[in-house]
């Protein structure tokens, strides 16, 4: 199957304290990943997302619309609050991606991954491209944190 290109909203998630949990109690860490999968997978499906990879404690997901990606991220954070130790950081960026064999690649995927370091626990960091697409929608509240 060849490489296909398309515009997508790209989301990364991570559990920032997962390594510490794993170092203390590996069984507990593995149970946390299982809980994450059980809780987040139906939400991904609800918002039309495509789970491409599980990256250790994180996920790589794409969406055909930015709105669905942001709604999904918001629901992730809401659900995560009810699960002990499931603290999530999330990033969302929009751009053209290359897809092959259900994997996605390209500079916009890389940018979304790099943005994750700026997300706070329980928060969602979005790129300017994402902000431009949702800024006129009253259902979303955003705050500019800082410029690096």
Whether 141 is covered by a domain: the verdict is no
Cα–Cα distance for residue pair 3/117, rounded to 1 Å:
29
pLDDT of residue 135: 84
How many C-beta atoms lie closer than 10 Å to residue 67's C-beta? 17
DSSP for 13-81 reads: EE-TTHHHHHHH-HHHHHHHHHHHHHHHHHHHHHTT-EEEEEETTEEEEEES-HHHHHHHHHHHHHHHT
Q: Is residue 11 part of a domain?
A: yes
Give domain status of residue 145, yes or no: no
Tens-binned pLDDT, residue by residue, of the chain (148 aa): 678 999 999 999 999 989 999 999 999 999 999 999 999 999 999 999 999 999 989 999 999 999 999 999 999 999 999 998 899 999 999 999 999 888 999 999 999 999 999 999 999 999 999 998 888 887 877 776 665 5
Residue span of the structural domain in which 82 resides: 4-134
Strand partners, 90: 13, 124
**Domain assignment present for 75:** yes
Q: pTM to 2 decimals?
A: 0.91
Strand partners for 31: none
- Residue 146 in any domain: the answer is no
pLDDT at 147: 56
* Cα-to-chain-centroid distance, residue 114: 12
**Is 69 inside any structural domain?**
yes
Return the CATH number at 90.
Answer: 3.30.70.1230
How many domains, in total, are found in the chain?
1
Is residue 31 a part of any domain in this protein?
yes
> Is 144 contained in some domain?
no
Per-residue model confidence (pLDDT) at position 142:
78
pLDDT at 121: 92
Would you state the pLDDT for residue 102? 84
């Amino acid at each position: 199957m060849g490489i296909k290109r398309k515009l997508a909203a790209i989301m990364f998630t991570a559990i920032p304290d997962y390594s510490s949990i794993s170092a203390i109690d590996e069984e507990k860490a593995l149970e946390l990943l299982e809980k994450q999968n059980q809780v987040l997978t139906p939400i991904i499906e609800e918002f039309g997302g495509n789970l491409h990879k599980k990256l250790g404690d994180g996920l790589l997901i794409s969406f055909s619309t930015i709105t669905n990606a942001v709604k999904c991220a918001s629901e992730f954070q809401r659900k995560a609050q009810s699960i002990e130790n499931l603290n999530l950081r999330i990033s969302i960026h929009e751009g053209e991606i290359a897809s092959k064999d259900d994997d996605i690649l390209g500079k916009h995927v890389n940018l979304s991954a790099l943005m994750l370091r700026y997300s706070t626990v329980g928060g969602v960091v979005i790129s300017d491209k994402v902000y431009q697409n949702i800024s006129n929608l009253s259902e979303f509240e955003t705050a500019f944190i800082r410029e690096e």
